[in-house]
Structure 1
Amino acid sequence: MIQKERTVSLPEVHRTIKVPERGGFWRKMLAYGGPGYLVAVGYMDPGNWATDLAGGAQFGYMLLSVILLSNLMAIVLQALCVKLGVATGRDLAQACRDNYSAPVSFFLWILCEIAIAACDLAELVGSAIALELLFGIPLAIGVCITALDVIMVLFLQGKGFRYVEALVITIMTVIGVCFIVELIVSRPDVADVLQGFIPQSEVVRNPTALYIAIGILGATVMPHNLYLHSSIVQTRAWQETPEKKREAIKFATIDSTVALTLALFINAAILILSAATFHFSNHQDVAEIQDAYKLLSPVLGFAPASILFAIALLASGQNSTLTGTLAGQIVMEGFLQIRLRPWLRRLLTRMVAIVPALLTILFLGEGSTTNLLVLSQVILSLQLSFAVIPLVMFTSDRRLMGEFVNPRWLKILAGAVATIIVGLNLWLLWQTFLEWLN
């Protein structure tokens, strides 16, 4: 194999955050806390809203089990990303470039760029919908306005990585508070909610439920998040000793697990709110985010409900924008070793998302946006296998990981997660093929 030049991941912030050599649990936890929340942002973006709203309105609480399963798989996969980044000093894109041939790496890069574009499409459309709901701005204009958020991204990156983390956590808190209020007002049946977390066979047998379930999987376990997390965990400046690496893996894994638990609450809250408000009040046909906004206040009898809903939607779209920029930079630098200025990288990504968004709105109407969001999440899910399989293989390879290689139980668990993801996607393709034949 030709030895490839080694470069660090995200060089402008690599190892810039100090970690105390001594100190108690909470002091070290504070130093390592942050990257997990940037990753968790991708688990509550506008694409999640579309799939969760559709799932709750049509099937009640049934798909809560899919959200729970997806989140558990996400916790496992993000823990593997932490191990890869800490143990090898390489992010997932760099590891692919180091260990695969140039054609394979290029193919994986193309797939990852498609996933990032699909994710960016969801953020773009979601933010534009929120602007329309809050301020009456037409969707087509809103799409163009949200494309300019590159200015905010550039400003924060210039301030330092801790500022990015602080803003993300603040916005996540706003989203969480909005949904706590919404859930209190909607008064869901607790027993029915808990039963919804128990898997049901109808999810697989019902083609519509399966389509939304795959969308939830794609919206939750996002392929570009695997590249992102394996990179940003390296912003911490731990000492290069086995003991300190084990410590880094421990605290970074706790960080991501806590953050993803918060993401689980928000995802579940969207579906629970949809089910409690629409499914059980003869509004099962609610499919558009705009329709949900209009019905929330009158159905719940709580005037601020719709406003809180739109504020949370706008916050989630803008929050996801921050991590999308970083992920795009990581995969391009990791796979191709091409560095673009952040503003240029962001504008290129946004242009890829703007074109289908504007065409859909102009030719199919504004009512098609939620279907576009769900489709974007299914595309994400179909790309997921091509990021998960390399991640599982690398972290299970003693040659790469040394003493940090996955133990047998984790190899089995990670293999099971990869198998479930591949299996569900193949099943979705088969069901879609059968529908086309009919």
Structure 2
Amino acid sequence: MPEVFRSIAVPKDRRFWRKLGAFSGPGYLVAVGYMDPGNWATDLAGGSQFGYTLLSVILLSNVMAILLQALAAKLGIVTGSDLAQACRNQYPREVSFLLWIACELAIIACDLAEVIGTAIALQLLFGIPLVWGVCLTALDVLLVLLLQQRGFRLLEAFIIALLIVIAGCFVVEIALSQPAIGAVMRGFVPTPEIVTDPAMLYIAIGILGATVMPHNLYLHSAVVQTRAFEQTDSGKQEAIRFATLDSTIALMLALFINAAILILAAATFHAAGRTDVAEIQDAYQLLTPMLGVGLASTLFGVALLASGQNSTLTATLAGQIVMEGFLRIRLPAWQRRLLTRLLAIVPAVVVAALYGQSGTTRLLVLSQVVLSMQLPFAVVPLVAFTSNRALMGRFANGAALRWSAWVIAAVITGLNAKLLLSLATGG
């Protein structure tokens, strides 16, 4: 994004909080993708069907995300290239092109979830038909342009404000649902049945795909470059430290919200024997009568709308970064973003028109599994680049970090292979 490259000043004094404030922002843009409507679909399905069991998957996914986002920030800060540009520069043209195709498929799957989630929220809160709601989400292109013209900091502030709204809504929802604290704590401990039960594995990989999102790795490696840090080894080291702290804090907020959605579903639906609640619309309709509080459904809808709007904003930015990085397309900002948005709007309109309200959540869950399938195509290059001493110099991953990152890549690839085998054999 050349229009905002190194546009935000970093204070030269040594005060910790001023430095952290200057670097805070990119992590929250990234965290948005970890609590988008696709997460809602997988978390609701997991909580209603299996209670608190899949909380361990949310926790594990978040730990993976923290490490991978730290690597993405380091790549952008040290090399001055985002992940898409690094792939274009380091790989043959054919390989780079295939990686671009994989990334575009991931962004379309992600946008499908976000656009449909926003449209569902508009339908639930205001009665707007699903297809018209999908079309309204195209206006986020204009919102991104308006906010970014007034400074990238304003765009970050807007997104953080919506995150606060989402978190506030779920604080109230958790208080109303009164979950069993002991059962919640046990849910964070992994159990073997997550891998051995095909139905649970399908939802678990959906959660993984919804949490560790491939396009967010491209996004983070680019937006950290909006900070005008010193281009020295010490300046880059400081930037890496504060960027990692920023994304870690933001992703802990994402962990809370994802866990809150699953806990709400487990405490409200699973505990009452309603293991069939997987549709977002069903959850919205049932929350008020089951919790006995009229505000419960409204808060759920408001949080969903804020989540969907936030996610479409950041997905549009990620699409721009990927297209520019892989293809070196030089278009005016509004044209780049409109093209990126249409890649998601068109299939979403088709899906909404064909399937309507019924089946949209199944499509949301499927989109997250598609995202998970694309993860190795982003994670493997990221780990390889940040471990390459010729590219990263003294900032290359040490042995412990390198092995941890490769283990995460192997776990993601292995779980995907297990899922494909289960789907192919029907068991």
Deviation at 1:160, TM superposition (A): 1.0
Query: 1 CA distance for matches of 2:258 and 2:166?
Result: 11
Q: Deviations over 1:146-168 (max 9, x none)?
A: 22222211111111100011011
Q: Deviations over 1:202-255 (max 9, x none)?
A: 111111111111110110000010001011101111111111111110011000
Query: 1 CA distance for matches of 2:332 and 2:192?
Result: 49
Query: 2 CA distance for matches of 1:32 and 1:149?
Result: 25
Farther-moved stretch of structure 1 (65-74 vs 19-28) = 19-28
- Identity of paired residues, percent? 66
1:238 paired residue among 229, 253, 268 = 229
Deviation at 1:299, TM superposition (A): 0.3
Residue identity opposite 2:70 in structure 1 = A
Aligned to 1:190: 181
Query: 2 CA distance for matches of 1:325 and 1:360?
Result: 20
Query: 1 CA distance for matches of 2:203 and 2:143?
Result: 33
Aligned to 1:200: 191
Indicate if the aligned counterparts of 2:316 and 2:341 stay in contact, CA closer than 8 A. Answer: no
Give the secondary-structure state (helix, strand or coil) at the position aligned to 1:62: coil
Give the secondary-structure state (helix, strand or coil) at the position aligned to 1:21: coil
Aligned to 1:7: none
Aligned to 2:141: 150
Does residue 388 of structure 2 align to residue 397 of structure 1?
Answer: yes
TM-score by length of 1: 0.96
2:218 paired residue among 218, 227, 242 = 227
Query: 2 CA distance for matches of 1:325 and 1:355?
Result: 14
2:331 paired residue among 335, 340, 356 = 340
Give the secondary-structure state (helix, strand or coil) at the position aligned to 2:358: helix
Residue identity opposite 2:239 in structure 1 = A
Task: Report the number of matched residues.
Answer: 427
Deviation at 1:298, TM superposition (A): 0.6
TM-score by length of 2: 0.98
Deviation at 1:339, TM superposition (A): 2.3
Does residue 301 of structure 2 align to residue 310 of structure 1?
Answer: yes
Deviation at 1:84, TM superposition (A): 0.7
Q: Deviations over 1:163-195 (max 9, x none)?
A: 011011100000000000000010000000000
Aligned to 2:241: 250
Aligned to 1:3: none
Does residue 90 of structure 2 align to residue 106 of structure 1?
Answer: no
2:353 paired residue among 362, 370, 386 = 362
Query: 2 CA distance for matches of 1:22 and 1:357?
Result: 48
Indicate if the aligned counterparts of 1:81 and 1:226 stay in contact, CA closer than 8 A. Answer: yes
Give the secondary-structure state (helix, strand or coil) at the position aligned to 2:3: coil
Indicate if the aligned counterparts of 1:329 and 1:339 stay in contact, CA closer than 8 A. Answer: no
Q: Deviations over 1:337-394 (max 9, x none)?
A: 1123333333333333233333333333311110111111111110010000000000
Query: 2 CA distance for matches of 1:254 and 1:316?
Result: 23
Indicate if the aligned counterparts of 1:183 and 1:269 stay in contact, CA closer than 8 A. Answer: yes
Farther-moved stretch of structure 1 (330-339 vs 187-196) = 330-339
Aligned to 1:274: 265
Root-mean-square deviation (CA), in Å?
Answer: 1.1
Aligned to 2:375: 384
Does residue 255 of structure 2 align to residue 264 of structure 1?
Answer: yes
Deviation at 1:90, TM superposition (A): 1.0
Query: 2 CA distance for matches of 1:36 and 1:390?
Result: 21
Indicate if the aligned counterparts of 2:320 and 2:340 stay in contact, CA closer than 8 A. Answer: no
Aligned to 1:137: 128
Give the secondary-structure state (helix, strand or coil) at the position aligned to 1:152: helix
Aligned to 1:210: 201
Give the secondary-structure state (helix, strand or coil) at the position aligned to 2:52: coil
Over 6 Å off, 4+ runs: none
2:416 paired residue among 419, 422, 425 = 425
Matches within 5 A, 1:45-194: 45-194=36-185
Query: 1 CA distance for matches of 2:353 and 2:325?
Result: 36
1:19 paired residue among 10, 13, 28 = 10
Query: 2 CA distance for matches of 1:89 and 1:357?
Result: 34
Give the secondary-structure state (helix, strand or coil) at the position aligned to 2:359: helix
Query: 2 CA distance for matches of 1:311 and 1:179?
Result: 10
Residue identity opposite 1:100 in structure 2 = Y
Query: 2 CA distance for matches of 1:17 and 1:365?
Result: 44
Give the secondary-structure state (helix, strand or coil) at the position aligned to 2:34: coil
Deviation at 1:44, TM superposition (A): 0.4
Deviation at 1:269, TM superposition (A): 0.3
Indicate if the aligned counterparts of 1:84 and 1:394 stay in contact, CA closer than 8 A. Answer: yes
Unaligned runs of 5+ in 2: none
Give the secondary-structure state (helix, strand or coil) at the position aligned to 1:198: coil
Give the secondary-structure state (helix, strand or coil) at the position aligned to 1:411: helix
